[in-house]
Every structure is written in C-alpha cells, then in structure tokens.
Structure 1
Amino acid sequence: MTATYRYLPDLHQEAAVQPDGILSRVLHNEGGVRTVIFAFDAGQELTEHTASRPATLQVLSGAGTLRLGPDTLEARPGTWAYMPAGLVHAIRAESPLTLLLTLLPKETPA
C-alpha cells in the first residue's frame, strides 16, 4: 500500500481574501485531525464561540485581535496558540488576515 500525501507549496494561494468576507477551506481531514485555512478581510470577525475539540491556531499573514478566554491578545504573522476544548475564543481582523486552524482529536477521559 502506498501512502498518500498532500503538498501545498504556498498556503497563501489556498485562501484568497474575499472583499468584506471570510473564506474557510478544509485542507486536511483524516484520523481525527482537521486543518482549515481562513482568510478574513479587514474588519471581519468570528465572534465568541467554543469548540468541542482542542485546536491550534497559527497566523500566517495580516494583523488582528485574538481573544482566548478572558484575554485579548495581538495576532500577527508568527502568532501561535493552543486552545483546549471548551475555551471561549474569538478573532477579529484589523487588516486582511490569513490563519491556519488545526482541530485535534477529542481528548479521551483517563
């Protein structure tokens, strides 16, 4: 059996910023791991919400504000965050913003 892979030479080509909108595109979904690229136009936001799975977030380009629980933090290229399941979070783009979200497998109780 030959293992398959997916190669993307430039993530920015996978998510063009849409005027006055938010684009999301699934890049990978296998084995309980789901990777989604997001592109936000300036002023767009995902309002406060939670997820049932832990996740990581990595900002690829642009600038924004990231809310993790009670904290409001800067989001800029190179920003990375781990979010446990159930954490209240939100993001607002101050300029066109691209980020990579990786949803991890649900944690199993010990």
Structure 2
Amino acid sequence: MAYRYILDLQQEATIQAKEVVSRLLHREGGVRTRIFAFDAGQELAAHSAAHPAILQVLSGQGRLTLGEAKPGTWVHMPAGLVHAIRAESPLTLLLISLPKE
C-alpha cells in the first residue's frame, strides 16, 4: 500500500509576493487536501463550495468571515457556507475538501 509522508507541511507552502498560492497535496476517494499560502494583504473573496471542508491555519494571522485566523484555528464548513479570508500577515493553511454529505 502506497502512502505519502510529509514531515513539515510548512515546507510545502511557498509564499509569493502579492499572491495566493494553492497546491494539491493529495486526492483520494472524494477527499482533496490542499495547502494555501497567502502573502500579507491577500485574500479569497466571499464564496461557497459544493462540498463540506475543514480548514486548519498552520501559520500567520488573518481574518475569516467566520472569525479570527491564527495558528491552530480549525473550522468545519458545511457545503454552501459563504466564507472569505484575508491574510493580515503571511499565512498558510490546510484545506481538506470532503465528499458531499
């Protein structure tokens, strides 16, 4: 059975000046895991997704429409929930998209 081992997720996220960078880390059985890297001041505008998702902030500070975003912040978002995020400092987060409920 194959597996993927990542010792340090931070090494998978490269913050680029004035950009939001997204990278697919894994896809299997309807679950997709992405890492996002935001430069300070960058944002994802309000949107919703067709699938539920789990968001975990790895580093940096930001604001979610749902609340504060700092290392250790964990959010479950049901499908259809409108949300946005703005990085107040360089920010990395993990997003796990789940199969439809």
Question: Which bracket does the TM-score occupy, shorter chain normalised?
Answer: over 0.9
- 3-state DSSP of counterpart to 2:72: coil
Q: How does 1:1-110 map to 2 (within 5 A)?
A: 3-68=1-66, 73-107=67-101
Question: How many residue pairs end up in the alignment?
Answer: 101
- Residues in 1 aligned to 2:7 and 2:36: alpha-carbon distance in whole angstroms: 17
Quote the Cα distance in structure 1 between the aligned partners of 2:18 and 2:43.
Answer: 10
Normalised by the size of structure 1, how large is the TM-score? Answer: 0.90
- TM-score scaled by structure 2? 0.98
| In structure 2, distance between residues paired with 1:29 and 1:6 | 11
Q: Measure the CA separation in 2 of the matches of 1:4 and 1:60.
A: 26
1:105 maps to a residue whose letter is P
Unaligned ranges ≥5, structure 1: none
CA apart distance, 1:21:
0.4
The CA distance in 2 between the partners of 1:65 and 1:44, in whole Å, is 11
Q: What fraction of aligned residue pairs are identical, expressed as a percent?
A: 70
Q: Distance in 2 between matches of 1:74 and 1:85?
A: 21
Alpha-carbon offset, residue 67 of structure 1: 1.1
**For 1:30 and 1:43, how far apart are their aligned partners in 2?**
32
CA distance in 2, matches of 1:103, 1:55: 4
**Alpha-carbon distance in 2 for matches of 1:7, 1:63:** 26
